Structure 1
Amino acid sequence: MASTAGYTTVGQILSQWTAIVGRNMGVCLLAGGFIAILGTVLDLAMGEGGSSLLLSIATFFISYHFSEHILQQEGLMARGVSSRHYASAFGAAFLGTLGIVAGLIVLVLPGLYVAARWSMSSSLVIAEGLTTTQALGQSWQRTAQAAWQVTGAAFVVGLGMLALFALVGLVGGLSETGTSEQMGLVGTAVANAAGAGIQIMTTLFAVAVYACLGQSTGNLDDVFG
């Protein structure tokens, strides 16, 4: 269950994250595999440019239901939340991405900091039925006492994703020994598998932060007040 103290450590977040992954490995592989296969099929059928929008839409809905399932399995869904809030989840993801990109344009650290502070907004929408602005505000508020700890954990996770990208590049280089058609298939499949893995792991990171800090009390004044 989530902590009510409003404080956590990098180790606790990462421990929670790995524990959630371990307890839900089967559904992680199922959701990630579905995203990867769908992305590969769409890329081969429509080309990367033509498939991007369809894959983004599909990934959003898959990630929403995947996150909902994990939150339920972990006992983190608030009582009385029965309906789904796709529009609020999309709004939180969209506005959060804009804020993160703005931070990254300035420097990497501000973008990572904003990403950490808004990291559990999607979980707040799904688990508590909050609106877009409520979720962003509550995420910022509830991470206030552990802002740099969440940022540090996000940094460690980010390093893992960079390692995954490096592995993708290595596999892509090894695949150059085949025919152009084979290289295209392998490269597309590997890239989509990596993208799916990153999507699943970031979704679980959001749940882990929510598990550590999500039930902390707070208000919206810190950001939207």
Structure 2
Amino acid sequence: MVILTSRSLKIGTIIDKTLGVVEHGMKPTLIYVVGLTLINAAIGYYTVGMTAPMDQVVIGLGKFVVGVVTAYVLFDALLRRTGLISRTEGDVFLPYVGLSILYTLGVVAGMIAIVIPGLVIMARWMIAQPLLIGRGYGVRQALGESWERTRGSEFTILGAWFALALPLLAVVIACAILFDPADPIGIVITQLASSAMSVVSLAMGVAVYGLIVGKESQAAAFA
């Protein structure tokens, strides 16, 4: 595999490799989508009437924990199935949790600052989690290297992400309009689309990581 510089990335290439990552990791991806959808749909259904601020904090924290655990498992599976794991040490779950917290805070803070900064941060930190899981980098090193490696390609990455995620976002918006918040069908469809959007982000992180970092010893299987 030829490792690309971030500036030579193309939207079509990122989309193609993202779909390739999903194809190579189809089984864990399906398990992730079904499991995450069922868990979040159950949380959404049984907490639909809980609108107090503290209730919303607890619900949000619960979903965050579920999202972090399931994303870590899927990231690890996708990196292994595409041949992009090169770390020699053991589990890196706790550092991953810390990185996920910083990543989320950074993106949310950017979104509050007129949205675009949050999207740029999301793109520039796109490969931080694969760097941590795939190479065993520390949190600070992973965030810093991701920021540098993706320099100049943030809008290319965002273009690819929007191309895959916008149809799913449209489904979420349509469900909000067409279904009552307590309708279990609407809840399930919304959560299914949200889970698929998460897959887009995770698989694209692996794809971009493979394109501009790769594995030191051999080419990635999906390339």
TM-score (norm 2): 0.80
Change (3 A) 1:38 1:13: same
CA distance in structure 2 between the partners assigned to 1:38 and 1:28 by the alignment: 15
- Partner of residue 68, structure 2: 60
More helix by share: 1
Q: CA deviation at 1:126?
A: 0.6
CA distance in structure 1 between the partners assigned to 2:193 and 2:79 by the alignment: 23
CA distance in structure 1 between the partners assigned to 2:133 and 2:17 by the alignment: 19
Q: CA deviation at 1:140?
A: 0.8
Deviates most, 151-160 or 7-16? 151-160
- Partner of residue 194, structure 1: 193
CA distance in structure 1 between the partners assigned to 2:27 and 2:18 by the alignment: 15
* Mapped contact 1:71–1:127 kept (Cα < 8 A): yes
CA distance in structure 2 between the partners assigned to 1:209 and 1:154 by the alignment: 11
- Partner of residue 41, structure 1: 42
Q: Deviations over 1:86-132 (max 9, x none)?
A: 22212222222222223222333222111101011111111011111
Deviates most, 204-213 or 158-167? 158-167
- Partner of residue 113, structure 2: 106
Is residue 2:90 matched to residue 1:91? Answer: no
* Mapped contact 1:104–1:110 kept (Cα < 8 A): yes
Is residue 2:3 matched to residue 1:3? Answer: yes
Deviates most, 13-22 or 156-165? 156-165
Q: CA deviation at 1:35?
A: 0.8
Q: CA deviation at 1:11?
A: 1.4
* Mapped contact 2:11–2:157 kept (Cα < 8 A): yes
Q: Deviations over 1:149-208 (max 9, x none)?
A: 2232233344234223234336xx2x56xxx9xx53223222222222222221111111
3-state DSSP class of the match of 1:189? helix
| Structure 2 counterpart of 1:147, from 129, 144, 154 | 154
Q: Sequence identity of aligned pairs in percent?
A: 25
3-state DSSP class of the match of 2:153? helix
- What is the aligned residue count? 208
Q: Which runs of 5+ in 2 are unaligned?
A: 51-55, 217-223
CA distance in structure 2 between the partners assigned to 1:20 and 1:124 by the alignment: 16
Change (3 A) 1:55 1:145: closer
Change (3 A) 1:158 1:108: farther
Alpha-carbon RMSD: 2.6
3-state DSSP class of the match of 1:41? helix
Q: CA deviation at 1:216?
A: 9.3
| Structure 2 counterpart of 1:135, from 137, 142, 154 | 142
CA distance in structure 2 between the partners assigned to 1:207 and 1:104 by the alignment: 23
- Partner of residue 19, structure 1: 20
TM-score (norm 1): 0.80
3-state DSSP class of the match of 2:91? coil
3-state DSSP class of the match of 2:183? helix
